[in-house]
Amino acid sequence: MPITSATTRRAALPVLVAAALSLTACSGGGETSSSSGGGKALVIDTSFNLKTVDPGRMYEQTGLLIDRALYDTLLGFKGSDVSKPVPALAESYELSKDGKKLTLKLRQDAVFSDGSPVTADDVVFSLDRVRDLKGNPSFLLEGVTVEKTDDKTVTLVSAKPNPSLPFILPNPALGIVNSKVVKANGGAASPADKAEKYLNGQSAGSGPYLLESFNAATQVVLKANPKYWGATKPVYKRVVLRNVQSQTQKLNVQRGDSQIAVDMTADQAQGIGGGTQVVKGASANVFFLLTNRDASVSKITSNPRFAEAVSKGVDYAGLLELAGEGSVQAAGIVPSMINGSLPAAQAPKRDVAGAKAALAAGGITNPRIKLEFPSDFTLNGLSFQPLAERIQANLKEVGITVDLAPAPIATALENYRDGKEEMGLWWWSPDYPDAGNYLAFLPGGLIGERAGWKKGADKALEDAGAKAASTIGDDRFDQYHQIQAQLNARGPIVPLIQPSQRLVTAGSLTGLEVNPVWTFEIAALGSK
């Protein structure tokens, strides 16, 4: 996952992505699809964020896209709708009243690519392996034990109430592997595991595709699984994912050399033509400003009135203009397509007079602060530099002088992770599409700590977070509304925008629905 989510320990009814996205056709020629292996080939151009496709170690965006096609999970989501998990390898699930026990009944017709059945033993080994490898995705099952109840039933027991667990299980990092095959090739549910090399050469899952070849720097090739157990077989017999920069992606999709371009900017996608379609809408990524509450880092930003002045001083409409069509203001830290997000009507609004009054009330005069952000990284085609410059201009109007301090992402991350930034411009992507993932922004949480907001800094808010984390049922989403309203009112984090996400596809491509965890489902794609 992107580097500011929880993985960097090392992110009213919801507005679903399906409703937010629009598909518009452009004039021009048609798709050119190559033929390979006796059937159609699909070519996907994307800028790789990829290290491995071993599900026990994989936690980068390109890896999530690929492993979603290789490894079935116990639960899934239907297209873009992440409001409720749906059956996959598990035909049903039930969460206990105390939220500590999740019981899953396994379907009996699922088989791995070698034809052997998917069993409860495979599930236990796979999930134990992810947790006990202590790799990037291990936190997903922190405090969870996996038990085989019988041949058809698996039970996940959490040390604490865990209503988020059904929303966690669809993550491709929790794909179920063929335990016999993986064990025979060095696999183990411990850091002694040596199966990564094998799993980067060939897959061992029950998904609609198999791994044909893997190169983390250049290209990954998938081929259709002839023994796939699912009702809907993949249309494309071969899928080629190429590591391509955005400008070349545009050229390739225009001339039919590829069928999907994942990373084009708003300007590049504007009027692209060539018989293409543009899928666009708000992404699940949330840009935010961090103002440090640690007085040893900054006597200015540690004053709570400073964050209030920043929140009221930002011109959110201006930031949306920079981000482009399809972007939306982040009403709170939980993005709009996830249950528990704040309604748009409750989003902070610009109030220059109110910002100046907040500074005066806090006794803050002529403040000058440093804003740090990555200089060599773009998110959804959006560079941090113009956003930072716009924020700098906005805050100057309320009496805050902002010195921009861009740095290469590795350098910027060090200060951010160490909690040394006076003010920072960052983003959060969901590790799983549940509001519980955003408790990291409370005092003592991952981002709270980075903002100098230590445990005990706001007991009322911390208690509210603990209650929401253990509440079962839809009532918890109202609690997350209240938590975010309080965060907006007195926290050190200022949510800004959800940038637009756009994918450009060949005009004949069908079945593309954007998902905030794995981008889109390769196996759902077809051609008209």
Residue 28, domain member (yes or no): no
Same domain, 90 and 238: yes
Residue with tokens 């840009």: 287
Residue 304, domain member (yes or no): yes
Q: What is the mean pLDDT of the segment spanning 65-69?
A: 98
With vertex at residue 129, the alpha carbon angle to CA 140 and CA 117, rounded to the nearest 5 degrees, is 110
Residue 21, domain member (yes or no): no
Residue with tokens 């740090």: 372
Please tell me whether the overall predicted TM-score, pTM, comes out greater than 0.85 for this model: yes
Same domain, 327 and 353: yes
Same domain, 237 and 326: no
Residue 127, domain member (yes or no): yes
Q: What pLDDT digit, counting tens, does each position of 359-407 carry?
A: 999 999 999 999 999 998 888 888 999 999 999 999 999 999 999 999 9
Lowest mean pLDDT among 12-16, 111-115, 391-395, 517-521: 12-16
Q: What is the mean pLDDT of the segment spanning 246-269?
A: 90
Same domain, 91 and 139: yes
Report the share of the chain in percent with pLDDT over 90.
83
Residue 33, domain member (yes or no): no
Residue 12, domain member (yes or no): no
237 has a pLDDT exceeding 70 = yes
Bigger pLDDT: 40 or 230? 230
Residue 56, domain member (yes or no): yes
pLDDT of residue 263: 87
Same domain, 294 and 204: no
Same domain, 449 and 509: no
Could you tell me if 94 and 138 are in contact, meaning their C-beta atoms sit under 8 angstroms apart?
Answer: no
Our count of domains for the chain comes to 2
Same domain, 138 and 224: yes
pLDDT of residue 273: 81
Quick count: other Cβ atoms within 10 Å of Cβ 109? Answer: 10
Report the share of the chain in percent with pLDDT over 70.
93
> Three-class SS string for 9-45?
CCCCCCCCHHHHCEEEECCCCCCCCCEECCEEEEEEE
Lowest mean pLDDT among 30-34, 206-210, 371-375: 30-34
Lowest mean pLDDT among 32-46, 402-416, 441-455, 465-479: 32-46
Lowest mean pLDDT among 5-9, 58-62, 225-229, 255-259: 5-9
Residue 36, domain member (yes or no): no
Domain that holds residue 355: 286-498
Pairing between β-strand 209-214 and β-strand 219-224 as defined by DSSP bridges: antiparallel
pLDDT of residue 39: 52
Q: Phi and psi of 321, rounded to 5°?
A: -60, -40
Same domain, 344 and 255: no
Bigger pLDDT: 57 or 5? 57
Same domain, 424 and 508: no
Same domain, 193 and 317: no
pLDDT of residue 380: 84
> Three-class SS string for 179-234?
HHHHHHCCCCCCCCCCCHHHHCCCCCCCCCEEEEEECCCCEEEEEECCCCCCCCCC
Quick count: other Cβ atoms within 10 Å of Cβ 296? Answer: 10
Mean pLDDT taken over the chain:
91
- CATH code where residue 392 lies: 3.10.105.10
Nearest to 20 by CA among 380, 279, 332, 340: 279
pLDDT of residue 24: 39
CA dihedral angle for residue 339, residue 332, residue 437, residue 81, rounded to 10 degrees: 30
Same domain, 408 and 475: yes
Q: What pLDDT digit, counting tens, does each position of 453-483 carry?
A: 999 999 999 999 999 999 998 889 999 999 9
Residue with tokens 């061992």: 204
Same domain, 128 and 216: yes
